[in-house]
Amino acid sequence: MKPQARRQAIMDLLMDAGSASVDDMASRFDVSRMTIHRDLDELEQAGLLRKTHGGASIQSSPQFESDFRYREKIATAEKHRIAAHAAGFIEPGQIIIIDDSSTAGALADYLSAIRPLTVITNNLGVIGKLSGVNGITLISLGGQYNKRFNGFFGIITEEALRAVRADIAFLSSSAIHGASAFHQDQEVVQTKRQMMRSAARTHLLVDHKNSASPHCIS
């Protein structure tokens, strides 16, 4: 197996299991432990996983936010209960912002019952769900696509947000400490902050509390 294919297979394994040991991966892919360490170093430098003692993980930590494909599979029932409750704050005719998170993104499944609406989002999953839905005016925020977060970020995204105004912004975050929300990625933080500035009010949607992450959103 070529290195690129093996590294993709490592990511596929972690997407299913969340974590794996170096010994298990070396046996599974029939390579040396040193080869697996080199693969993990490359994937960690790309921001796709975090190395742990004796292995690797894509589960979130205070310094690392997991891939959206993994987060979408976690606490799905809780996220949909939160989204269904959050939908109760929306009235037909309003303009809402939905961020890149899987928790806020679950709102897309509940919006057809509240039409007409205008939805502003950088979340590619939400864009895919709502594109072409009658009664929903969809405004997708441009910017640089981030595969790990499945959303658009950067200067273009922030400039687009400065040009719009919304009734409500629905955001989520990887960690809560006291009255502050945190995220591990500074670029994501900047986008979320601008979403808050562009909305008359903001609802924070969280399914559990984690330890604080490096960058404060609010």
Instruction: State whether 193 and 169 are in the same domain.
Output: yes
85's tokens: 């409750």
CA distances from 169 to 36, 86, 121, 166, 204 (A): 42, 11, 10, 7, 8
Instruction: State whether 111 and 37 are in the same domain.
Output: no
CATH of residue 198's domain is 3.40.50.1360
pLDDT at position 215 is 52
Instruction: State whether 37 and 104 are in the same domain.
Output: no
Instruction: State whether 124 and 42 are in the same domain.
Output: no
Residue 66: inside a domain: no
Residue 50: inside a domain: yes
Instruction: State whether 184 and 103 are in the same domain.
Output: yes
DSSP bridge pairs for 144: 153
Q: Are strands 199-204 and 166-171 parallel, antiparallel or unpaired?
A: parallel
Q: Which amino acid is at 195?
A: M
Phi, psi (deg, nearest 5) at residue 98: -125, 130
Instruction: State whether 26 and 121 are in the same domain.
Output: no
Kind and range of the H or E run holding 44: helix 33-45
Cis peptide before 116 (omega within 30 of 0): yes
Instruction: State whether 181 and 208 are in the same domain.
Output: yes
Q: Which domain holds residue 194?
A: 75-216
* Beta strand segments in 1-76, E: 19-21, 50-52, 55-57
Taking the whole predicted model, whether its pTM rises above 0.75 is answered as no
Q: Is the pLDDT of residue 217 over 60?
A: no
Confidence of residue 131 (pLDDT cuts 50, 70, 90): very high
Residue 93: inside a domain: yes
Domain total in the chain: 2
Instruction: State whether 21 and 119 are in the same domain.
Output: no
Residue 148: inside a domain: yes
Instruction: State whether 27 and 119 are in the same domain.
Output: no
Q: Which amino acid is at 43?
A: L
Confidence of residue 211 (pLDDT cuts 50, 70, 90): very low
**Phi-psi group of 15: left, alpha or beta (phi > 0 → left; psi -120 to 50 → alpha; rest → beta):** alpha
Mean pLDDT of 2-27: 91
pLDDT at position 187 is 84
Three-state secondary structure call for residue 29: helix
Integer Cα distance of 178 and 81 in angstroms: 23
Residue 153: inside a domain: yes
Instruction: State whether 30 and 133 are in the same domain.
Output: no
Q: Is the pLDDT of residue 158 over 70?
A: yes
CATH of residue 43's domain is 1.10.10.10
Integer Cα distance of 144 and 218 in angstroms: 23
pLDDT at position 74 is 76
